[in-house]
Structure 1
Amino acid sequence: MRASQSRQKSYADRRRMPLEFEAGDHVFLRVTPTTGVGKAIRAKKLSPRYLGPYQISRRIGPVAYEIAMPPQLANLHPVFHVSQLQKYVPDPSHVLEADTVQVKEDLSIEMQPVKVDERLSKRPDGKATRLIKVIWDSRTGDSTWEKEEEMKKSYPHLFSGKS
């Protein structure tokens, strides 16, 4: 058994490459997109996992790097573990705009609803439940169906001037 484990370890070690960066390299930063109420905006596999690219200012230790953060992300601590970074391969289609994205300290994103698109009334238990289709991102058209009374409490500005 030990000989087999040793052989497997040697195979894995031959292919394993430690992830290292130099000062001045560019990397993507891993984030978790969620709404302000904690619900995922879109399917996990379709949501952007990385923001950037950002430049590495300096290496702190063997697995920690300081990143030059833009003003929009100034609330984040600029030191990240190597597991939160991905090497940047220059390509203009990889760049995600961070000007409208506010990342929290726990690397989550709070999305604000843009507008109410449709209204619907359902009666599952004999009680009328009013649902509204909320557009979260006007650029991509991401939307979800939410309960109207909860959205009125959380986001009253969407309903100002409407009945």
Structure 2
Amino acid sequence: MRRRELEFVVGDRVFFKMSSMKGVIQFGIMGKLSPYFIGPYEIVGRIGKVAYDLKLPSEMVMVHLVFHISMLRLYKPDPSHVLNHEEIEISEKLSYEEEPVQILDRQVRRLRTKI
């Protein structure tokens, strides 16, 4: 048998495969650069042996809430996935100034001189 025995429980967080939905533009990107799996989303309930109900955000109202087990992948929590963001200070003119955090590399280039 070539398939894996998968089973999730209510409360697990999973990614789901969005690439199988033809003609849907995901995150403004269409084609091979669009993400293959998106999430993680929480499993709210189990429907039968191979279908799960997911809790999706309100922006995804057009997507059906029930997914087959073959479209889901378990999310393994990792602290490196959490992105810390800093507050942006906005001036009265509704603009902001970007400042580099760190210089990672520096190169000195010499131009060729004409002989």
TM-score range, shorter chain: 0.5 to 0.7
Structure 2 residue 20 is matched with structure 1 residue 55: no
Distance in 2 (alpha carbons) for counterparts of 1:81 and 1:71: 21
Q: Which moves more between the two structures, 76-85 or 26-35?
A: 26-35
Structure 1 unaligned residues grouped into runs of 5+: 1-11, 96-163
Task: Note the C-alpha offset of 1:94.
Answer: 5.4
| CA deviation profile, 1:101-127 (whole Å, cap 9, x unmatched) | xxxxxxxxxxxxxxxxxxxxxxxxxxx
1:124-143 correspondence runs (5 A): none
Q: What corresponds to 2:69 in structure 1?
A: 82
Distance in 2 (alpha carbons) for counterparts of 1:21 and 1:81: 12
More strand by share: 1
| CA RMSD between the two structures | 2.7
CA shift in 2, pair 1:35/1:53, >3 Å: closer
Identity %: 47
Q: TM-score, normalised by structure 2?
A: 0.55
2:5 equivalent among 7, 18, 28: 18
Q: Secondary structure, in 3 states, of the residue corresponding to 1:83?
A: helix
Q: TM-score, normalised by structure 1?
A: 0.40
More helix by share: 1
Structure of greater relative contact order (alpha carbons < 8 Å, 6+ residues apart)? 2
Q: Secondary structure, in 3 states, of the residue corresponding to 1:75?
A: coil
CA shift in 2, pair 1:24/1:75, >3 Å: same
- What is the aligned length? 77
Structure 2 residue 20 is matched with structure 1 residue 28: no
Distance in 2 (alpha carbons) for counterparts of 1:70 and 1:51: 12
Q: Secondary structure, in 3 states, of the residue corresponding to 1:20?
A: coil
